[in-house]
Amino acid sequence: MHKRFFLKTTAMLAAVAAFGTAQAQTTPIKFQMDWRFEGPAAFFLVPGANGYFKDAKLDVTVDSGNGSGGAVTRVASGTYDLGFADLAALMEFHANNPDAPNKPVAIMMVYNNTPASVMALKKSGIKTPADLAGKKLGAPVFDAGRRAFPIFQKANGIGNVAWTAMDPPLRETMLVRGDVDAITGFTFTSLLNIEARGVKAEDVVVMQYPDYGVKLYGNAIIASPKILKENPAAVKAFLAAFTKGAKDVITNPAKAIETVKARDGIINVELETRRLKLAIDTVINSPDAHAEGFGQVKGPRLSLMASQVSDAFNTKTRVKADDVWNGSFLPTAKELDILPKIKK
């Protein structure tokens, strides 16, 4: 009797131990996006839907966000392991919080160019950056394009402008109503939102920052120093799985949108497919990304951006480029070679 009980107990303990070992082999990762579940969110949902995270022994939770600044602070607080944020917002956090114990770092560049643009309606008479002088511009206070506008302003010799702040859902509405003369925003967000309010694309003037001398990097995957130190293998596995998923998204955006629809059933599939394609064409599969390589950055350009952000954001300390970037967790150059040829 005792022997049978002992054998049963031993078998049960062995099963529990085996289960525990299996569980231990799967690393949980909390990921904070920069924005809502719109088209570009497919880049973070497809790797999970296609099993790449699972194959990499990762249990990844992807949460929507409300801006790059929030993504940076949530990763800094330790609430999230990884996130997606505008590199300028990350630089600002570093320079304004020099004594913060857990400053996140960028580990993979996704938007090689900033998606920021100034947009105006053609009927306003605004055609070039110089025409913005003396005009009323609108954007949420935390908008990446608004924060970086002084760099755009300096590069194009624009005179003083007046700013109006609003919540994100009101930005394009106020432009269409004529409450402001122009707005800043991500091209693939605001242009389609303006169209959704009844304005044709050909009636909108779009001045993309990279086309007007502002070669800022855009959004990158960021990581907490804690996970980089304690589980570098999981971080490398995440980036490899993400890269596989990114290739699938770029190859078939329409199919990728199905993952966004599954996460947020009320999205407009046609609109979000267009948004995703626009994001791919403007900031992911761009000439600069081809020149530098998907996921990567170039030192001189990163240093210039650090200097520009320090000046434009009037940070407490100067941004140090080496402090905000760590490319040692990236997949191999062969694995990163996922960008298709640019259509002429």
Tokens representing 307 are 């200097």
Q: What is the pLDDT of residues 304-314, one digit of tens each?
A: 999 999 998 89
**If 0-12 CB within 10 Å is exposed, 13-18 middle and 19+ buried, where does residue 288 land?**
middle
Q: 92-136, pLDDT tens digit by residue?
A: 999 999 999 999 999 999 999 999 999 999 999 999 999 999 999
Two structure tokens written together for 288? 């600069």
**The predicted structure's pLDDT at residue 151:** 92
- Model pLDDT, residue 6: 54
Per-residue pLDDT tens digits for 254-305:
999 999 999 999 999 999 999 999 999 999 999 999 999 999 999 999 999 9
Q: How far is CA 343 from CA 253, 275, 340, in A?
A: 16, 18, 9
Average pLDDT over residues 32-45: 96
Q: Which CATH number fits domain 116-212: 1.10.10.10, 3.40.50.1010, 3.40.190.10, 1.10.40.30?
A: 3.40.190.10
CA atoms of 279 and 197, how far apart (whole Å):
20
| CB neighbour burial string for 135-170, b if at least 16 within 10 angstroms, e if fewer | bebbbbebbbbbbbbbbbbeebebeebeeeebebee
Domain ranges, ordered by start, for the chain = 27-113+218-336, 116-212
Half-sphere exposure at residue 161, Cβ-oriented, CA atoms within 13 angstroms? 26
Half-sphere exposure of 138 (CA within 13 A, CB side): 19
pLDDT in tens, 53-107: 999 999 999 999 988 889 999 999 999 999 999 999 999 999 999 999 999 999 9
178 CB-near residues (< 8 Å, 6+ apart): none
pLDDT over 90, % of the chain: 86
For residue 67, the model assigns a pLDDT of: 85
For residue 15, pLDDT beyond 80: no
Residue 22 has what pLDDT? 45
pLDDT value for 21: 46
- Please report, as a single letter, which amino acid is at residue 310: S
- Spatial CB neighbours of 32, under 8 Å, sequence gap ≥ 6: 63, 65, 70, 71, 74, 75, 79, 80, 82, 83, 84
Mean pLDDT over residues 126-151, rounded? 94
Looking at domain 27-113+218-336, its CATH class is: alpha beta
**Sorting pLDDT into bands at 50, 70 and 90, what band is 334?**
very high
The whole-number pLDDT of residue 166 equals: 96
